[in-house]
Amino acid sequence: MKTRIELFREKLSEKQIESALVTSWQNVFYLSGFTGFGDAFIFITQESQYILTDSRYLVQAKEECVDFEIKNIPVSDFKKIAGFIKEQNVKTIGFEDYNISYLTYKKVTELCENCEFTAIGGIIEGLRCVKSVEEIELIQRACDIVVETFNDVLGIIKEGVSEKEVAAEIEYGIRKRGAEKTSFDTIVASGFRGALPHGTASDKKIMKGEAITMDFGAFYNGYCSDITRTVFLGEPDEKMRKIYDVVLAANIKAINSFESGMTGRDLDLIAREHIAGEGYGDEFSHGLGHGVGVQVHEEPRINRFGDKELAKGMIFSIEPGIYVEGLGGVRIEDLVTVVDGKLKVLTKKAPKEMIIL
């Protein structure tokens, strides 16, 4: 099996690019395993590969990046970076156009005036889209962490508890189970705040009869998970009960309807048509899902722009939601992976049938 570096080199060769400067920490980690996030670049040619970092990380880089030559070149030292690039005698250099800062690009290109810089954003992300067996196992563990945390945190949701208190319990539960951190800012939105799809936890107190939407993830050994569940403190009214049933049915229908050859757009349409058919089309205001891996939002797209065929080894979310201003909202999110032409749910041990506390 070809290594990630070998596959990346092939992509560069196809574009007739001799070398590349990789600056995003996610792609540095993906290619090398280096976990000094944000403090290293990779420079790669067709023959060699280098980690550029400073003295704080030299020992760590040598331990983590055994297939790379380590150079004591800080990512902020543009003159040293340019001087090193010149020593490699390359004429064409790929750069991550969506990630590199304007200052870094300007300084390095000015100092390497005889080199041609070509945008290569998206190449490594395309490689990351299909996960290896080892990556799937890591993401499954990250999913297990959030499932266990969800099941535990239900016990502290009571009238008068604030959204921030719930978020704190979630974040403690994630770290207690071995994750380095959360994979994004924890969302806890109760009552009318549930109409905010990205309603980060506030000081609002949870009240009887309210829905509580919790959206959170774990960052475990370089990989992310993502889950959303909506629960109720006391009996919901008929409007919220109906909304919950519609969202749950959309989630299940999208997962069960998957067939080989489908795209993200196809899946999005299945859930969207179901929700629209129940009268809530305008209240489903985002795409059905997104890829998850080194980043919590990556390829493939599971929305109306998702034209990539969903293939074995891809991991993505299925997260329909309905949001009604002034009333509240419901979102139910699972992470899934493609196995034998079907979707395997990685978060299935977190109940998604209606929970009334």
Q: What is the pLDDT of residues 68-123, one digit of tens each?
A: 999 999 999 999 999 999 999 999 999 999 888 898 899 899 999 899 999 999 99
What torsion do the CA atoms of 288, 302, 317, 293 make, to the nearest 10 degrees? -150
**pLDDT score at 10:** 97
pTM: 0.95
Number of residues that make up the chain = 357
Task: Give ranges for CATH 3.40.350.10 in the chain.
Answer: 4-128
Task: Give ranges for CATH 3.90.230.10 in the chain.
Answer: 133-345
Q: What is the pLDDT of residues 187-209, one digit of tens each?
A: 999 999 999 999 999 999 999 99
**pLDDT score at 219:** 98
Q: What is the pLDDT of residues 134-175, one digit of tens each?
A: 999 999 999 999 999 999 999 999 999 999 999 999 999 999
pLDDT band at 1 (very low <50, low <70, confident <90, very high): confident
**pLDDT score at 300:** 98
Mean pLDDT of 5-19: 97
Pinpoint the alpha helices (H) of the chain: 4-14, 25-32, 58-64, 78-87, 102-111, 123-128, 133-153, 163-176, 238-256, 264-277
CATH class as words, domain 4-128 = alpha beta
**pLDDT score at 86:** 94
H/E stretch holding 223 reads strand 223-224
pLDDT band at 53 (very low <50, low <70, confident <90, very high): very high
Amino acid 40 reads A
Burial class (CB in 10 A: 0-12, 13-18, 19+), 240: buried
CATH of the domain spanning 133-345: 3.90.230.10
**pLDDT score at 298:** 98
